[in-house]
Chain A
Amino acid sequence: MRNWRHETGRRVALAGVALALAAVAACAPGASNSKPDAKSTGAISTDVAKAGKVTLTEWDINTSGGADTATTQLNKEFEQKYPNVTIKRVARTLNDLKATLKLALSSKNPPDVVQANQGYPDMGAFVKANLLLPLDNYAKVYGWNNTFPKQLLALNKFSSDGKKWQTGNLYGVSQTGEIVGIYYNKKLLKQVGLPLPKTFSEFEADLPKIKAKGQLPIQFGTGDKSPAIHLFGVAQAAIAGKQEVRDMVASSGSAKWTDASTVQSAQVVSDWAKKGYLTAGANGLTGDEASANFGKGQGVFRIDGTWRLAELDQAMGSNVGFMSPPPMKAGQPSATEGGEGLAWSITSKTKHADVAGAYLNFITDAHAEDVLAKTGNLPAVQPPSYTPKAGSLNADIFAAWKTISQEDGLTPYLDYTTPTFYDTITSNLQQLIGGKLDPKAFTKALQADAGAFKQSN
């Protein structure tokens, strides 16, 4: 046996140094790619049948439940309507999509249509790198400005340098509305003998009572990082109020992440974890697993988004209800995290922009909203043709969405704040929940990220 590493050692190191010293004729990295031009409205063809044979590749995050059913069905219908188009679908979990979309968009053959997450980490970065096509003229041609509420469209807007969010060009349209709220297990709630909480403090007071009865108060898992945002977001929306959260996320006004109200929200979440109101070891349980556990009857409450509608409806039937997080004072309007599903966007390198535009319109028009509603999703715009069954989870969710929209109670997802915020807030929340960080240190970490971004922008 020969250990062939005998021959290595100092000489290899020397060879390496010699190489490193070899002059490299390289220039500073960083490419300047040209801005994608918005097509003028006159040049847009809405007639897909005339486009010839086209393969449209789309990436979405609808890997499970009703969203999967709806996407499959709408794609099939589009292909039936236009036999000359083949749709190639790639579905990934949000976590995997976030990890690979940047690489895919910068490649030579990016997908034509992608679901991009709103805010600075994803959509802002893509716009900055000229990877997405501005859709304003498609919006004109297809009348999206009238179909969608203004505030929902604003979430998908960016200035063309990717620096200013909620203004400038439109870069995507969303199919679904979303709010984060409280799912509750009706049977268990009856068992512990509690009414639905009317205020946030009532909700908080319920938790120890549930625990005392030997039930798990809140089923929760954040092993895949993003769910903790929603738990904290709900507490923060209630305690700090909608205006303060909006200012923080949009980096406007004087609100800081270190303000007392946000520290208090962090304290609440930290106490929940400490006192055992959340599933033990939540950092090792994914959101999907926690949701499945809640569906199996483990946990009285579950704080999660309306995207779980189909899944929990199927698992629990009439035993599950949904409510907006209750306000601080009884009778006040609720505020909660929410907005819309990921934006469907067109990539700037696509060769079939018009077909992609028509596809976007097809999956967000009145018929599509109807399909979405019937497959257990919450459409961004209520289809007039659909009324949910009374007493069902659908009915609860549709009502909550309607009320929140009318009362203007939506606060944006916190990860929109800066390009690195998703990373910062998720990893620090895991530490807060794991008891590794106190609320003050936690909010400091968030403010450090947000402050640095505000300075550089």
Chain B
Amino acid sequence: MAAVSTPTDRTGAPDDKRRAGRRKATKKSDRIAYLYLLPAFVLFGIFLLFPLIHGFWISLYQWDGLSASTWVGLRNYGEAFSDPGLRSAFVHSLVLIVFYALIPVSLALLLTAVMSRARHTKGLGFFRVVLFLPQVVASVVVATIWTAIYAPQGVLNDFLSAIGLHAITKPWLGDFTWALPAVGLIGTWVEIGLCLVLFLAGVSQIPRELFEAARIDGAGAIREFFTVTLPGLRPQIAVALTLSVVAGLKSFDLIYVATRGGPGTQTSVPAFEVYHRAFDVGQVGSACAIGILLTLLILIATVVINRVDPGESR
């Protein structure tokens, strides 16, 4: 995928064309530019790039974080596929991505399709603020709230009992079948507002003529959605998917506060395993390997998702 420049760019994508004669000593203007960049890159280099490389280095060792280490090469990475505990952590992550990304995005798309039939909803500003609220509340706070909702004698069970479903009440976060979906639904709750707000904003930018043309062609609601709304929302879908998939992959705070990976290892995810292995059970090398794998996953997900959206300058 090539970098796409947007209409707002005046200089185009910054490609280095090495012209002849530029091989001399760096020009004065170059030096000034480097001076502007220096502070940011010093901080960035020391506190992001170096630890990243150092983390990769540690991941090649077996180390308990306390005593001497042993070189094991890529074995820690192999374990991600061979160690059943770790493999299931990655699988749990995929399940969470369904709850964090796929469900909110599909649901929000569906709702947007329904809502785009009517234009100009008054008071949208108020709804936008409310729907967006879960995004800004600290995930530790979110986890605390939902732990109370899911508690054995919590609001959810009270509600179920009240409508005559006492039989299905359970301690949601302590149930082997339900713990992971319960955690996932917290993610759905957080992300749904973001997706709705994004798509509603996107729909309002689609030229009215397109809808009208579709209607003159006699398109029904469904065809209109697939020919006009969906293509028009591509950039917003890409953003929504990127944000929510990444949030699903990095659900450490939520898992730490709500379940600590329990019951059993039913809700352990890679982000939690990183912490758990490094600081609870003394497998620092393996923890670093998981951290690097998580980085790769995010990189791949971002690249793949952004292929959905071929850019605005088509």
Contact = CB atoms under 8 A, between A and B. Distances in A.
B54 interface: yes
The DSSP consensus for interface residues of chain B is: loop
Contacts of A385: none
Contact of B175 (A1, A24, A106, A281): A281
Nearest to A2: B6
B303 A420 contact: no
A148 B53 CA distance: 51
A371 interface: no
Contacts of B265: 427
Contact of B53 (A24, A129, A436): A24
A371 B52 CA distance: 52
Interface string A417-430: 00110010001101
B243 to A, nearest CB: 10
A8 B303 CA distance: 7
B222 interface: no
A16 interface: yes
B100 interface: no
Given A11-B3, A284-B175, A430 B58 contact: no
A125 B282 contact: yes
Contacts of B53: 19-20, 22, 24, 26
A427 B264 contact: yes
A6 interface: yes
B69 A29 contact: yes
Contacts of B172: 284
B262 A29 contact: no
Interface in A15-49: 16, 19-20, 22, 24, 26, 28-30, 32
A3 B273 CA distance: 32
Interface string B299-311: 1001100100101
Contact of B176 (A3, A106, A434): A434
B98 to A, nearest CB: 22
Contacts of A95: 260
Contacts of B1: 9-10
Interface size band for B = 35 or more
Contact of A30 (B6, B63, B205, B242): B63
Interface string B249-284: 000000000001111110000000000000111101
Nearest to B57: A26
Contacts of A99: 279-280
Contacts of A430: 262-264
Interface string B150-171: 1110000000000000000011
B68 interface: yes
Contact of B263 (A8, A12, A16, A283): A283
B174 interface: yes
Contacts of A5: 238-239, 242, 302, 306
A281 B67 contact: no
Nearest to A8: B302
A211 interface: no
A282 interface: yes
A289 B68 CA distance: 42
A434 B171 contact: no
Given A20-B53, A284-B173, A28 B69 contact: yes
B61 interface: yes
Nearest 8 pairs of A and B residues by beta carbon: A284-B174, A284-B171, A283-B174, A129-B66, A281-B171, A283-B263, A431-B264, A30-B69
